[in-house]
Every structure is written in C-alpha cells, then in structure tokens.
Amino acid sequence: MARKGYASSCFEEDVMSNTPSGKGAALVTGAARRMGRAFITALAEDGYVPIVHYNTSSQEADALVSEFRKDGIEAVAIGADLADPGAAQGLIGQAREKAGPLRVLVNSASIFEDDSSQTLTADSFRRHMDVNTLAPALLSREFAKQAEAGSMIFNVLDYKLFNINADFFSYTLSKAALEAMTQMHAREFAPTVRVNAVAPGLTLPSPYHSREEFERLHDDNPLKRGPTLEDMVRTLRYFLATPSVSGQILAVDGGQHFDPRLTRDVFGAL
C-alpha cells in the first residue's frame, strides 16, 4: 500500500502503490522538514520518485529517504546550499542523474528573517533574494530544459503578497519577485511546463512566536480556520490534476489576505 499521511480520497485513483508508476521524478527544495516534507511525502504517495533536497538538515533528509525505502519507494537525498548560485544551478542535473527525468519541481525552500526598510543590510537583502528568488529562477530554467510535456513547477509564495505589509522587508520583496516569476515562466515555458503557486497563510509556527501565540493567531481569519499542511498538499494535487491551469496563484489562508485587521503579530507567525 502507499504510505499514509497526505493521501486524499478524491485523488485515490492517482495514488500509486510501491511499484514504479512511470510518472517520473519530483524534486522538492527544503524537503527534509516542515512544508517541504509534506509535499515530497505526498508526491511519493502519488507515484513520483521523490528527490529530497536539503541544506543543513542532512539527518532529517536521510531519515525520510530511509522511511521511503522501507515502504519500497526508491528515493534520493541531495544536499545543496541554495544561497550558492552554482549549487542551485547544478541541482537539477544531479537530480536527473540519480533519478531520471524530472516531471515536478516544487520551489519550497526559503529563508525568513525579520527586517524593515530601515534596518535591512545589503547582506540580508542578498541572502533573501539568492535563496527565495534567484535559486528558483535557476532551478526552473534548468528544469524546463529537460522537461517533457505535462511537467509542472509549483512555487511557494506568501498570502502577505495579497494584503501587503512593510514588515519582513527583504523576505516580502523576494516573494513578490517569485510571484512575478510564476506568471512570467508560465508564459515562457508553455506548453511543455505549467507553472503555478500557492500563497500559504499561517500554517506552521515560526521562530518569531511561541506555540501558544501561533495557536491564538492560526484561526484568527474570516473563516475562523487556519490552513494546514493537508490544505497545502491538496493545492499541489489540484494543480497537478488539472492540466488546463497555469500561471495561477492560490491563496490558502482562511481568507486572511482580505482581512483589514492584519498586524505585525499576524505576519510574524508565518
């Protein structure tokens, strides 16, 4: 049976067993932890060969690959510092060499540091742009070069882009650039590659809040229901299962993006 965790009943016909599916490989950046781990787990359940990218989380990545292999799922882990453009550019080639043609790329890895227009430094600005924008640009370009028809790129943005706030200045600018890139690449890479994105709301605790603060803020939105990892996985699966959709960005945030009460406390819990 497929690994349990993020399978959804409406996609059961697409969720494969442990036998090779012919779907190809899927690379998720930042796949060893948090949201990236949920994405790569779901893709493995759905029959893709999972490629677990990590930077410093080598133990978590190796443990995840071991879990996959125990279930009969071939998987590989590849380490790369996405702040290094050379490492980012070479990651697709390494992945293809180890796992064959890539059909799905999920640009999930990012850095998230608090600064403002008054406190930003050239170093912090470059770090955010290198990891959150330049690395996805290089990865997407190399992915598209080797892609076959029906391939897809999935970018992870931020609901903050729909109701802008000046906090987390460098981070926000880097995600705004990735938002524009999503639509630019959707035009450029068609018809072979579709490009879509999710803009998550408060899904997981961050270093900027305690667990109690996160729980207080998580459901503080118009729907009174904060997003979950399962919601993010459903969004990825929706885009994969809908071949006529490209260039779309879906806010999954309980309606937070149109809530006029947005405050610094809310954004700090991303």
Least confident of 105-114, 194-203, 215-224: 215-224
Where is pLDDT greater, at 113 or 1?
113
Q: What is the pLDDT of residues 44-63, one digit of tens each?
A: 999 999 999 999 999 999 99
**CATH code of the domain occupying 9-198:** 3.40.50.720
Where is pLDDT greater, at 10 or 63?
63
As a three-state string, the secondary structure of the chain is CCCCCCCCHHHHHHCCCCCCCCCCEEEECCCCCHHHHHHHHHHHHCCCEEEEEECCCHHHHHHHHHHHHHCCCCCEEEECCCCCHHHHHHHHHHHHHHHCCEEEEEECCCCCCCCCCCCCCHHHHHHHHHHHHHHHHHHHHHHHHHCCCCEEEEEECCHHHHCCCCCCHHHHHHHHHHHHHHHHHHHHHCCCEEEEEEEECCCCCCCCCCHHHHHHHHCCCCCCCCCCHHHHHHHHHHHHHCCCCCCCEEEECCCHHHCCCCCHHHHCCC
Q: How far apart are CA 29 and CA 23, in angstroms?
A: 19
pLDDT score of 157 more than 90: yes
pLDDT score of 261 more than 70: no
- What are the domain boundaries of the chain? 9-198
pTM of the full structure: 0.87
Amino acid at 10: C
Q: Summarize the confidence of residues 198-205 as an average pLDDT.
A: 84
pLDDT score of 266 more than 50: no
pLDDT score of 17 more than 50: no
**Residue 265: its pLDDT value, please?**
44
pLDDT tier at 246 (50, 70, 90 boundaries)?
A: very high
pLDDT score of 170 more than 60: yes
